[in-house]
Structures are given as structure tokens and as C-alpha cells.
């Protein structure tokens, strides 16, 4: 950028300071760049933060280790609870509070059983359960398009 191949590092810092550019070394132990497919892990990398006109830029110098996403220091995910029992499939069992059942039943005029079933079908989503029951109990909402006759 400056043609600084033979420029004294002290002179370079002085020029950068005159242009309003500040450089700070960061004592980083590890830098991880996560992409959709992999993690690039830099250990013992040299990291610098450059602040120029309020914009911060980071420079990382080192050799990264490429790891597939999800690999790393964390232990592998284990299905089941602490006792080693397999967990129920989350998509089939949703913990529905009684207060949510009451709200849906009051808003739609449905029974508590119908309200709970609608909440379970909508994974606990109150608005979706109310909409589901309202459509079922009163029919679909008027769409603004007149019905065809004969």
C-alpha cells in the first residue's frame, strides 16, 4: 500500500499515526473463523487491530487448522437425559402450560381438550392454535372473493 518494502518500521508507524491510523497488537490465544462448512482455527496467531477513521480492521497472521463444523473442544452431543434414558422426540411432546390451554379455550370457545390438542399440533404457538380452532369452529375467514353460484 505504501511501497514500504524498504521502509523502517518506526517510520511506517509514524506515517500511519499522521494519517490517523492506530495499530494495536492483541495477545490472542486462539482465533476461530466459522464458515458454513468449516472452522478455521488459528493458534498462536499474531493479531493486530487497526483503527482508521473509526473503522476497525483485524489482521491475523498464522497458519489455520481447518476443522469440519461442529468439531472442536466441546464433547460430542449425546442423546438422552442424565440417567442415560432416551429422551422423548421433541416434535411429538410439547410441554403446554394449563394457562395457555385456558387462553385458547376462552378465545375460541373450544373445550380444554380441543385447546390442548390444537396447541400440541402447533408446537405451543398460541396464535396458531387459536387460528386453527377458529377456522375449524367458524369456517375459513371470508376472503373477499364472492362464492360462485350455479
Sorting pLDDT into bands at 50, 70 and 90, what band is 16? Answer: confident
d(CA 137, CA 92): 25
Q: pLDDT-based confidence at 18, cuts 50/70/90?
A: confident
> pTM surpassing 0.75?
no
Write the pLDDT tens digit of every residue in 76-133. Answer: 444 454 444 545 444 456 688 888 888 888 888 889 999 899 888 888 888 888 888 8
For the segment 65-76, the average pLDDT, to the nearest whole number, is 66
Chain segment 74-89, per-residue pLDDT in tens: 444 444 544 445 454 4
DSSP track, 17-66: HHTTEEEEEE--SEEEEE-SSEEEEEES-EEEEEEETTEEEEEEESPEEE
Amino acid at each position: 500500500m505504501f511501497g514500504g518494502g524498504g521502509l523502517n518500521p518506526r517510520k511506517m508507524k509514524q506515517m500511519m499515526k499522521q494519517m490517523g491510523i492506530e495499530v494495536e497488537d492483541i495477545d490472542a490465544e486462539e482465533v476461530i473463523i466459522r464458515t458454513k462448512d468449516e472452522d478455521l482455527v488459528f493458534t498462536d496467531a499474531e493479531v493486530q487491530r487497526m483503527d482508521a477513521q473509526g473503522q476497525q480492521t483485524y489482521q491475523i497472521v498464522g497458519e489455520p487448522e481447518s476443522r469440519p463444523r461442529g468439531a472442536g473442544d466441546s464433547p460430542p452431543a449425546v442423546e438422552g437425559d442424565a440417567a442415560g434414558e432416551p429422551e422423548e422426540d421433541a416434535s411429538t411432546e410439547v410441554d403446554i402450560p394449563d394457562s395457555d390451554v385456558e387462553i385458547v379455550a376462552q378465545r375460541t370457545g373450544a373445550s380444554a381438550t380441543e385447546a390442548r390438542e390444537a396447541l400440541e399440533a402447533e408446537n405451543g404457538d398460541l396464535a396458531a392454535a387459536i387460528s386453527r380452532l377458529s377456522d375449524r369452529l367458524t369456517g375459513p375467514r371470508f376472503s373477499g372473493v364472492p362464492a360462485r353460484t350455479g
